[in-house]
Amino acid sequence: MAADLNIRITGGAGQGVHTVGAIVSRMVVLWGYHFHAIQDYMSRIRGGRNSYSVRIGSDPVRAGRDESDILLCLSPDHLPHFLPKLSKGGLALADTPSASPPVLAPPLKQMAVSAGSPILANMAGAGILACALGIPLDLLAPLLAADFKGDFLEKNRKALALGEEWAREHLGEAFRLPRAPSSPRVVMSGNEALALGAIAGGCKFAAGYPMTPGTGVLSVLADNGPAVGLVFEQAEDEIAALNMAIGASYAGARAMVATSGGGFALMVEALSLAGMLETPVVIALGMRPGPATGMPTRTEQGDLDFVLSAGHGEFPRLVLSPGSPEEAFDLAQHAMDLAEAYQVPAFLLTDQYLADTIVDMDPAKFDVRPVRRHLVRGTEVPRAENGRYLRYAVTGDGVSPMAVPGEPGVTVVAGSDEHTEDGHLTEDHDARIRMVEKRRRKGEALAQRTLPPLLSGPPNGDAVLIGFGSTKEVVEETRRILAREGIAVAAVHLRQVWPFPAKEMAEIAPRYDAALTVENNIGGQLARLIRRESGAEIAGTVSRYDGLPFTPETLAPEARKRIWEARSTRTSRTHGAKGAETSGS
Amino acid sequence: MLVSGIGQAAKLPHYVDVNVFDGLHGRALPAAAAIKMSNPAMTVVVTSGDGDIYGEGGNHFLHNIRRNVDIALFVHDNQVYGLTKGQPSPTSDAGWAGSLNRSGVISGPFPPLAVAIALGCGFVARGYAADVDFTADLMLQAIRFKGFALVDILQPCVTFNKKNTYQWYGRMAYKIAPEHDATDRMKAFGLALEWEERIPLGVLYRKERATFEELHPAIPGPPLHARETAPAIVREMLRKRTLALA
């Protein structure tokens, strides 16, 4: 039988919860298994109640689980909170004075002190977990050596060994995983994959102001910038960040910013500037629950409407919504390319869940494409009759050849006022019409490149579950659960929400008795978008808005219920429609 | 390369045959700094008004002085919002009455030169629109200066500012004596605080330090638009994140 084991490590900030989670995740990969790790943390520097859940499987794991099979509480006072979510037959570990099954009380503190420091309790816990899974410590040696150095490495090794020793005496073999053949796997979070994708896409300038969960993208760009000639600067505020990225883009650099909803709110005027100047720019927006400060470290998909409508005036934009770290890597390259090809702002719309999710992935899934620039240089720069370069030359598809300033013989004029083809401001109404229509044509050309939604499951049937962004893999696992129950259900993942793939959605949705969206928001923003853009009938939305991501075990029953309700409503409405016809309304 | 924001002064680049980035109100400096970071070989000059730079863009004014990117900033300081027809600006004197403030400005004026010197701006000068050659020389010095250079240019608004007129400046303004040691920050700060009785013109402070471009680990080298991304480097980054048995 395929293994499916969920390990949850909890503790206060500063207790090394993350370190244990990262070690456990990586050791199971070397042992021939796969994992999905998700963190739930509070907005504070020390203390609080944080958890790191590692779901382990024989097959690639792409969603979390609410119940844990092994619970390691580094703060014993967290037990009452996490114990109700322990699975039947599960094991809880906490250093408490008295314990009865399912709780065992390893003397973590004592082991840590004998290893050299009370802070090593986490590593003693890791030793216990390794032993519980039947993974020998020598497999962990390179992982430890990568994380720690010198004397501290020795102490960590000792704590690990003490934990293992205790576990050998006190634990059974219930959670042992037989060794399986392992292959090389890329281990990354959604944020990390997105940032590397942007680098692969030729990003050479990035600016940002720290804001969870966008900061993770910025730190990868900052750390890896010098190696690829990418200039990163921490801006004084988000307003500066996007204005800087637009300035760099005007100067010919592929540029990006990363933020969350509140930071993006400050960028909105500059977004409109990018629309007017037609400067390419990529905006990575990791959503978190709002309004205002909301729940800073938790997840939500509440900014879809905001991103689609942000910015005064009318201008084209691209909004991509990756559903996994691999897709984030791929779409970040795509965003860099299309932003420049069509000279538009391009969004990478993620959320805290995807940003912080870590999984192991097939290296072959990471396609690094060569960067193809869409700039004109030297003799390619088109000239008007008077010899001048026209930055906003009116063209068939609305895309004007873009030259960079600073090259000999080229003068680039870009203005935020409405402008003539040469970039200088104008109040001429005919010129205004030409520019408005040029920008619109550019949007139409961009729409020709729309990525179609991804469909899995039967081509028609009882129901289709539709999501965008981070829900992709949860919806997919839910679909498989429902399919095993005999429900003919399909899943649709929208990796692009603007320009909206209206034709495809209008064609897909009616093939099922019920179409439902799955959204981490209360408003059903995607459902409204699909109805508005494609005219397709959407029966309703399965919503989650407590600040936490969906899991298949909570989504499946809710989806099952909603599919049943939607199908019965649809049947009664079909009958009712006949009645309406006779009443002439 | 001229970069500007919004306002009468910010329209200036449209009358000069150079590269132009005419952006948002208050946001010229972040764009200009990034243009310079992207291509340090370009000469980047920001030209805008007191409302744009000291008001709407105040935060960028503070932090770009700290950043010390090699750009010259010319602020056309007329102590009034002209384009929107006569509201007080951040540099309006207290008590000055205009549209939206008929009973007089309550807030004290923003002291740009004192703020700049306090923040360690390497080149701080004041010009006066009535003395064109003198001011042109200050502007030239600012452009040639290596680092962030500020020239605040007193520029009477004949339409909306009936207090700070040519006559008023004629009485108040004087040229800083040639023996002033412009590297003395305390003396410069003293000059910057003069306003009530007389107004010094010229270079108040001048001291070079390493620029942002020189210190940033990724800026030296070709301009960003000419840099390529080798797929091999990205593959190596992925390989570093790949876990495999030894």
Model pLDDT for residues A459-491, shown as the tens digit of each residue: 999 999 999 999 999 999 999 999 999 999 999
- Whether the predicted pLDDT of A579 surpasses 60: no
- Whether the predicted pLDDT of A492 surpasses 60: yes
Both structure tokens of A382: 């088109």
Mean pLDDT calculated for residue range A267-294: 98
Of B42, B218, B242, the CB nearest to A225: B218
- B101 in a domain, yes or no? yes
- B245 in a domain, yes or no? no
Q: How many CB pairs under 8 A join A and B?
A: 202
Contact of B224 with chain A, judged by CB distance below 8 Å, is answered with yes
Q: Would you say B154 and B80 are in contact if contact means Cβ atoms under 8 Å apart?
A: no
- Whether the predicted pLDDT of B163 surpasses 50: yes
Q: Do B38 and A253 count as a contact with CB atoms less than 8 A apart?
A: yes
Give the count of beta carbons closer than 10 Å to the beta carbon of residue B225.
23
Q: Would you say A392 and A435 are in contact if contact means Cβ atoms under 8 Å apart?
A: yes
Q: What's the confidence (pLDDT) of residue A575? A: 53
Q: What's the confidence (pLDDT) of residue A582? A: 35
Give the count of beta carbons closer than 10 Å to the beta carbon of residue B197.
7
Contacts of residue A268, Cβ cutoff 8 Å, sequence gap at least 6: A310, A311
Q: What angle do CA A223, A227, A228 make, to 5 degrees?
A: 105
Q: What is the pLDDT of residues A172-207, one digit of tens each?
A: 999 999 999 999 999 999 999 999 999 999 999 999
* CA-based nearest residue to B185, from B204, B172, B199: B204
Strands A345-351 and B87-88, sheet pairing: unpaired
Q: What's the confidence (pLDDT) of residue A572? A: 66
A473: left (phi over 0), alpha (psi -120 to 50) or beta: alpha
Q: Which residues of A touch B223 (CB under 8 A)?
A: 251-252, 406
Contact of A270 with chain B, judged by CB distance below 8 Å, is answered with yes
Q: Which residues of B touch A425 (CB under 8 A)?
A: 11, 14, 22
Distance from CA of A557 to the nearest CA of B (A): 36
Distance from CA of B163 to the nearest CA of A (A): 32
Q: Which residues of A touch B23 (CB under 8 A)?
A: 243, 246-247, 273, 277, 416
Secondary structure of A194-258 as H, E, C letters: HHHHHHHCCEEEEEECCCCCCHHHHHHHHHHHHHHCCEEEECCCHHHHHHHHHHHHHCCCEEEEE
Contacts of residue A304, Cβ cutoff 8 Å, sequence gap at least 6: A349, A468, A497, A521, A525, A526, A529
Q: Would you say B92 and B79 are in contact if contact means Cβ atoms under 8 Å apart?
A: yes
Q: Which residues of B touch A250 (CB under 8 A)?
A: 21, 31, 35
* CA-based nearest residue to A203, from A97, A366, A332: A332
Contact of A493 with chain B, judged by CB distance below 8 Å, is answered with no
- B166 in a domain, yes or no? yes
Contact of B220 with chain A, judged by CB distance below 8 Å, is answered with no
Mean pLDDT calculated for residue range A226-255: 98
Q: What's the confidence (pLDDT) of residue A577? A: 42
- B22 in a domain, yes or no? yes
Contact of A108 with chain B, judged by CB distance below 8 Å, is answered with no
For residue A269, give the amino acid letter.
Answer: E
Rounded Cα gap, residues A194 and A351, in angstroms = 12
Q: What is the pLDDT of residues B27-37, one digit of tens each?
A: 999 999 999 99
Interface probe with B: pick from A147, A230, A277, A368, most Cβ of B within 10 Å = A368
Q: Do A251 and B33 count as a contact with CB atoms less than 8 A apart?
A: no
Instruction: List the domains of chain A with CATH numbers.
Output: 4-170 (3.40.920.10), 188-365 (3.40.50.970), 375-449 (no CATH), 454-576 (3.40.50.920)
Q: Would you say A413 and B20 are in contact if contact means Cβ atoms under 8 Å apart?
A: yes
- B192 in a domain, yes or no? yes
- Whether the predicted pLDDT of A424 surpasses 80: yes
Q: Do B32 and A247 count as a contact with CB atoms less than 8 A apart?
A: yes
Which range is least confidently modeled, A256-260, A380-384, A577-581? A577-581
Q: Do B224 and A233 count as a contact with CB atoms less than 8 A apart?
A: no
Mean pLDDT calculated for residue range A55-64: 97
Contact of B197 with chain A, judged by CB distance below 8 Å, is answered with no
B202: domain CATH number is 3.40.50.970
Distance from CA of A120 to the nearest CA of B (A): 25
Mean pLDDT of chain A: 95
* CA-based nearest residue to A343, from A252, A464, A262, A240: A252
Mean pLDDT calculated for residue range B73-96: 93
**pLDDT category, A569, cuts 50, 70, 90?**
confident
- Whether the predicted pLDDT of A232 surpasses 90: yes
- Whether the predicted pLDDT of B131 surpasses 60: yes
- B246 in a domain, yes or no? no
Q: Which domain holds residue B101?
A: 2-240
Number of domains in chain B: 1
Coil, strand or helix at A159: helix
Residues 28-87 of B with CB under 8 A from A: 30-35, 37-39, 41-42, 59-60, 62-63, 67
A433: left (phi over 0), alpha (psi -120 to 50) or beta: alpha
Q: Which residues of B touch A246 (CB under 8 A)?
A: 23, 31, 34
- B135 in a domain, yes or no? yes
Q: What's the confidence (pLDDT) of residue A197? A: 98
- B200 in a domain, yes or no? yes
